[in-house]
Amino acid sequence: MEFTLLPRTNTQKNHRFAHFSINSTPTFTRPEAVHHTKSGFYYIGKNSANIEKLVKIFKRGYASEMIENAKSELKRCLLQEKNNIPEIIFCETKFDLAAIRNFRNFLNSHSSLSSIPFVLDASNLAQTELELHKKAKLSDEILFLQETAEEKLVVKTKFLKKIKSRTLDLEAKPEPEKNGVSPFSVYQLLKRGFDIFLSLSLLLLVSPIFLLIALAINLESKGPVFYISKRAGRGYRIFNFYKFRTMYVGADKNIDEFSHLNQYNAQTGIGPLFFKIDNDPRITKVGSFLRKSSLDELPQLINVLLGDMSLVGNRPLPLYEAATLTTDDWAARFMAPAGITGLWQIKKRGHKDMSVEERINLDIVYAKRNNFMYDLWIIANTPYALIQKSNA
């Protein structure tokens, strides 16, 4: 199997682009015939190793050396049949943030292009530069293309396409009511306003409790007061998640040692993976009290105030758990906002017999029917679930 590289077009001297496709017998096609073949990927940059890898995975695609050239070619694709639009766009991070931001704005300005996952390749980036790109949030994903396994890249592409399409469906405005107000926008406004008001009020109210808990944690064991980890929320967006530290420092690094105690049974390494231990031996005495009383969750009010989470939603997942939920069957749970409390918490929290499927299905149920009154009902029922028998 070889791939063909079409020569640069002569009609537009400033537009350097190439079209790749796998054939049993290499053939060269006229540039004007490019648009009659569905494109699998679009790559912006010069890394030939990346392009070869993408051709092997997607079988066909386009590549442009510069962002401006990519814009021109994508505009031309829009004028042709829809099957010319790529499945996914990859871009090297050698371009400055302003150029990448401009390109993202270009994609968002076209309805057909805004649904295409936009991925940055972080190869050869220094850690400080990588952090800048993460903070800028200009892409749907940042990855090291050469280090990402082909199978994982295929799954990631499918997942990002689903996330993008469903997110756009959620953001699409429904037909206005008689008063001209969109029900969806009203719900979003009410939810965010309620989140800000209540989280700020509670933070001020419980600030003395924060100090007492911090003192108790420091007295029992050395280490930071807060446990901060990366979590995946709505649309698989990653953010820093805050909790009071309830375990000894470094306890999250020896998960394998306690895998046989996992409350979610039948883990085969295939499919969804959750990890919870009833009466976890890594938990401190103060941590056990904080978990049973749910006081360890209080710092998440900071996440709510920052907009990373909502008071009600699906729990944001550790990245190793979220990575196992990229299939069509489970991705729907990421359509709902991340939340402190939610449907499965009031239904099954602390129950040893809860299966992985049952927990995810409850998340999906909430994602499909969430509304402001439903949120209020969950909040009203949350106090009954706060005091639990288990410290899982």
- Domain final residue pick, 171, 191, 208: 171
| 150 and 207 together in one domain | no
pLDDT of residue 178: 44
- Domain final residue pick, 111, 138, 171: 171
| 29 and 156 together in one domain | yes
What integer is the mean pLDDT of 35-63? 82
Q: Is the pLDDT of residue 100 over 90?
A: yes
Q: For residue 15, name the pLDDT band (cuts at 50, 70, 90).
A: very low
- CATH value at residue 163: 3.40.50.2300
| 216 and 108 together in one domain | no
| 130 and 33 together in one domain | yes
Q: Model pTM? A: 0.54
| 208 and 147 together in one domain | no
What integer is the mean pLDDT of 349-367? 74
pLDDT of residue 388: 54
| 167 and 193 together in one domain | no
- Domain final residue pick, 112, 140, 171: 171
Any domain includes 176: no
Q: Give the count of domains, the chain.
A: 2
| 118 and 218 together in one domain | no
Any domain includes 177: no
What digits encode the pLDDT tens for the residues 138-153? 888 888 998 888 888 8
| 329 and 371 together in one domain | yes
Q: For residue 338, name the pLDDT band (cuts at 50, 70, 90).
A: very high
| 193 and 339 together in one domain | yes
User: 3-state SS of the chain?
Assistant: CEEEECCCCCCCCCCCEEEEEEECCCCCCCHHHHHHCCCCEEEECCCHHHHHHHHHHHCEEEEECCHHHHHHHHHHHHHCCHHHCCCEEEEECCCCHHHHHHHHHHHHCCHHHHCCCEEEECCCCCHHHHHHHHHHCCCCEEECHHHCCHHHHHHHHHHHHHHHHHHHHHHCCCCCCCCCCCHHHHHHHHHHHHHHHHHHHHHHHHHHHHHHHHHHHHHHCCCCCEEEEEEECHHHCEEEEEEECCECCCHHHCCHHHHHHECCCCCCCCCCCCCCECCCCCECHHHHHHHHHCHHHCCHHHHHHHCCCEEECECCEEHHHHCCCCCCCCHHHHHCCEEEECHHHHHHCCCCCCCHHHHHHHHHHHHHHCCHHHHHHHHHHCHHHHCCCCCC
Highest mean pLDDT among 77-91, 153-167, 283-297, 312-326: 283-297
Q: For residue 40, name the pLDDT band (cuts at 50, 70, 90).
A: confident
What digits encode the pLDDT tens for the residues 231-261? 888 877 888 999 999 988 876 665 555 555 5
Q: What domain range is 270 assigned to?
A: 183-386
Q: Is the pLDDT of residue 28 over 50?
A: no
Any domain includes 340: yes
Any domain includes 178: no
Kindly report which listed range (3-12, 19-28, 83-92, 281-290) carries the lowest average pLDDT score.
Answer: 3-12
Any domain includes 392: no
| 103 and 220 together in one domain | no
| 216 and 318 together in one domain | yes
What digits encode the pLDDT tens for the residues 280-303? 777 899 998 998 888 999 999 999
